Amino acid sequence: MNITVIGAGSWGTAISGVAARRADKVTLWSHDIESRDGINERHVNPLYLSDYTLPENVVASCDYAEALDGADGIIVVVPSPFLRSTIHEAAAYIAPATPVLCLTKGIEAGTGKLMSEVVAEEIGHPERVAALSGPNHAEEICKGSLSAAVIASEQTEIAEFFKTLLISPEFRIYTTNDMVGIETCAAVKNVIAIVCGIAAGMGYGDNTLALIMTRGLAEISRVVSARGGDPMTCMGLAGMGDLVATCTSPHSRNRSFGVAFAGGESLDAYQQRTHMVVEGAAAALSCAQLARTLGVDVPITFALESALYKGVDKMQAMKVLLERIPTEEFYGINR
């Protein structure tokens, strides 16, 4: 079995190693020549997870035709701002029946589309597209640390194909058909994680972080409900599980950016310094746009949007949140 992974960042590198346990060959597509050469010559991605040695059956390519030739399954792990353009270029080399698993987390700005919907629009045959989410830091996955994820697909056989490929005693895989639920959770939790990082950087304690996380979970649930997903999904791995990991872990680039932002570092400076895309920053804009379209109240998201894109001081943005009068705890959720 030949598997192609599109995207050679941290998560793409880690999932390639996971897939290599069952696949005969994994081809990792990278836009960066340095990553390609490091993987092919030394089995190491010099730009991401550089202390992780990839299995020998993982190779890399910067050419779509070469990377996708003979692929029996495709895993997409491209940062959300570049997903559509990347898949648009790759689409000509993707066979109509090849199953595709999307690991990218986000909501597309302007359209409000989930990442699997973007992929399906570009390659066609949406029934063969699945999505994976969960509390999975690449730094721990590549070391074989016990982790779990959930795969969602409209077609059970597509979810089972990727479950069989990726499951192991160290990487537990569950399945669901609620693609809207798991992908919405995946996008909005990154926003909440940045705000947790800002709060931590400003000196707020554990009580405050717990408040932001739980009210953030309610906020995620309102968006999921409005989009037609199942609010119960928010209680699972893609919701509460990923929210806890992303809001509390030092591996989380979203939380880490929030801490840096509280200390005065800009988004551009942080991304240039770390060579990583802060998914929650893009999601703050697209999630806010989607919430307004749906008529959903997302005060934490609106506060981050105002601080990142509207020139509102972060102290003022926090003050707006604190001055809100508490109401019913679970308002706006279809139960």
Active-site residue numbers? 189
Q: How far, in Å, CA of 52 to CA of 8, rounded?
A: 13
Decide if 247 contacts 255 (C-beta within 8 A).
yes
Q: What does the alpha-carbon distance between residue 174 and residue 149 come to, in Å, rounded to a whole number?
A: 6
Would you call 74 helix, strand, or coil by DSSP?
Answer: strand
Q: In the 3-class helix/strand/coil scheme, how is 21-50 assigned residue by residue?
A: CCCCEEEEECCCHHHHHHHHHHCCCCCCCC
Given a contact cutoff of 8 angstroms between Cβ atoms, the answer to whether 28 and 40 are in contact is: no
Residues in the chain: 335
With the C-alpha atoms ordered 95, 96, 100, 102, is the resulting torsion angle positive or negative? Answer: positive
Q: What angle do CA 24, 105, 139 make, to 5 degrees?
A: 60
